Structure 1
């Protein structure tokens, strides 16, 4: 696992096992968990980017590295933990899908708040092809994003979904040519890192909105609007709007 924080507040997490298509072993699981903890605790981090080294984003679990641990325990100990970390982190998380994502690698991308895919990248729900079931939140994310029947097709057949098809299905936000991929990721990440304090509350609201009643969401929106209005960023945003200029947010 390789991590780097730039001067804008973009914290880049790179899965770094290119010889195994960035498939997870114990060290990589623990590295991702530690990196997400660092992102949560460090106030200098304002946006997180997760990507892969080499030609793949993440091939899921490295089946040769499981050892004697029952796979259910592996899922509970590692996968469930970092999925929950990504969803609860009150900072935007951008998946920069540079190549193929398979199995839990797809779930890793779908757990993020925004997804940019290189034109040559692809998603593969590989579980059924090896006699396993979707995990790492795939059963949660897929039906919500593409509907029940398409999710069932993807889960049962495990066909390769190109970046263009992923975009048409709503599985990603943006597809860019490979030679423009890094600048596109940097552009979005930089914009997110320069965003207001309210970004984290927006993420919380949309996550709660997936499950809560309308009355509960209305109450949460009113609460967040009250505390957002009291921030320095809101005051700056309103001044900038009146003065017809771009706001300069500080995350406070």
Structure 2
């Protein structure tokens, strides 16, 4: 995982937080990778019974960080692959960020606020 996403576990509940509050948790390549890494880590945890996904600061997630994507964030060199590359089974990196939460064996609650 990286500095964009944190996981804290208390009483079998995982608190997963997007931690880029200064940018309203906008999705840049590091955020994509952090979210995927967090999901993969949670999938391997046997003692977690539920997940709460939230964002720090005034917004849950503002969407794509257009500045980082326009400056080559989605290029082949970023490690994200293209829209046609199935890097995670039947999903590409962009789809996996959303699909991984559906594939987890425990319930996931999104605590959405702001944008």
Q: Does 1:43 align with 2:46?
A: yes
Q: Does 1:54 align with 2:57?
A: yes
- State the TM-score, normalizing by the size of structure 1: 0.36
Unaligned regions of 5+ residues in structure 1, if any? Answer: 102-252
Q: Does 1:32 align with 2:35?
A: yes
Q: Distance in 2 between matches of 1:80 and 1:36?
A: 13
For each residue in 1:32-65, what CA deviation from the matched residue of structure 2 results, as whole angstroms up to 9, or x when unmatched?
1111111111101111111000110000110011
Bigger helix fraction? 1
Q: Does 1:65 align with 2:58?
A: no
Extract structure 1 runs of 4+ deviating beyond 3 A: 74-77
TM-fit CA distance, 1:78: 2.4
Unaligned regions of 5+ residues in structure 2, if any? Answer: 76-80, 85-90
- What residue number does 1:95 align with? 110
Alignment coverage as a number of residue pairs? 98
Q: Distance in 2 between matches of 1:78 and 1:20?
A: 21
Q: Distance in 2 between matches of 1:9 and 1:30?
A: 24
TM alignment of 1:1-252, pairs within 5 A: 1-6=5-10, 8-66=11-69, 67-68=71-72, 69=74, 73=82, 77-97=92-112, 99-101=113-115
Q: Distance in 2 between matches of 1:54 and 1:47?
A: 22
Cα distance change, pair 80–60 in 1 and its aligned pair in 2 (3 A)? same
Q: Distance in 1 between matches of 2:28 and 2:93?
A: 10
RMSD: 2.0
SS at match of 1:73: coil
Q: Distance in 2 between matches of 1:32 and 1:38?
A: 10
TM-fit CA distance, 1:74: 5.8
SS at match of 2:82: helix
SS at match of 2:60: strand
TM-fit CA distance, 1:30: 0.8
Q: Distance in 2 between matches of 1:87 and 1:48?
A: 11
